[in-house]
Amino acid sequence: MPTDFYKYHALGNDYIVIDPNKSALALSEENIRLICHRNFGVGSDGILFGPLLEAGGMRLRILNPDGSEAEKSGNGIRIFSRYLVEAGYVKGKEFSLITAGGTVAVAVLDGVGGLIKVDMGAASFSSADLPASGPAREIFGETLALGEAEYTINCVSMGNPHCVIPLDDISRETAERLGPLVENHPLFPRRTNVQFLKVIDRANIRIEIWERGAGYTLASGSSSCAAASVAHRLGLTGPEVKVHMPGGVIDIDIRPDGHVFMTGPVTGVMTGSFAPDLRRQVGLGAVKQ
């Protein structure tokens, strides 16, 4: 049987890698939804499609479970970097990767890709970079009405959009209740990722995450970068922060030039072949004997 996919997780945020150099799968929106579905497909928080080998380097496409495409994913980048190491696409411990949200620099901190650091670029608080509706401005400390209550929001782009909401108490229930309202708010014409932030001390924060196109998520690399950037700008933390999430902890280091470095683990889960029924559904046809 051919290997159709490679599955990993980064603190419980799981992705399927599909390599176009090894698979003839056409990634239509319908196919993406089916493969990511946890009852009818393999099940994942998204698909990492690549590497697409170009003159400028290796490009990664990040596909959400609803069929939409994300500009950037911190956990996805770390997972895909481990795949590149294991598949032999990269030999050294440092390399770059092209995403729709910009080129990132990757450093493998061990021999197998189990611990990876990524330069996620500089955080931007400009509404134009999210994007957000209304006049050009920094959306920081603005008030947003959600239902019958108002919340203070702080928006930041890490190459993909984020809306960070500091609260005294955060929970999965809060993320699942308010997350969809923020994600789909008219303020964000391309929708947004949402983080609910609680500051523990100057070196630790905790977040609950609602991801655009994916829903409630146990961990997120770009969300960790965004939340840490907001907490640091508010003066509530130093530049080095541990971000605690339901799936585990990511280390964030905010440099003086504004670049945000993220360090976290990657765990292999499985490699697999689609069963004949699923192969037919996604248009791969029968396996040649």
**Core vs surface per residue 232-261: b (16+ CB within 10 A) or e:** bbeebbeeebbbbbbbeebebbbeeeeebb
179 is in an annotated binding site: no
Phi and psi torsions of 99, nearest 5°: -125, 170
**DSSP structure string for 16-58:** EEE-TTT------HHHHHHHH-TTTSS--S-EEEEEEEETTEE
31 annotated to a ligand binding site: no
The set of residues, in sequence order, having a beta carbon less than 8 Å from that of 220 and lying 6+ positions away, is: 13, 73, 74, 75, 193, 195, 209, 211, 245
Other beta carbons less than 10 A from residue 287's beta carbon: 13
Q: Which two tokens mark 178? A: 């308010």
> Is 154 one of the annotated binding-site residues?
no
Annotated binding-site residue? 148: no
User: Burial level of 199, CB count in 10 A (0-12/13-18/19+)?
Assistant: middle
The backbone torsions φ and ψ at residue 146, rounded to the nearest 5 degrees and listed phi first, read -130, 105
Asked whether residue 13 is marked as a ligand-binding residue, the answer is yes
Is 29 annotated among the ligand-binding residues?
no
Pairwise CA distance, residues 72 & 285, whole Å: 32
233 labeled part of a ligand binding site = no
Contact criterion met (CB below 8 Å) for 165 and 173: no
64 annotated among ligand-binding-site residues: yes
- Cite the annotated binding site for substrate by residue number: 13, 64, 74-75, 160, 193, 211-212, 221-222
- Cite the annotated binding site by residue number: 13, 64, 74-75, 160, 193, 211-212, 221-222
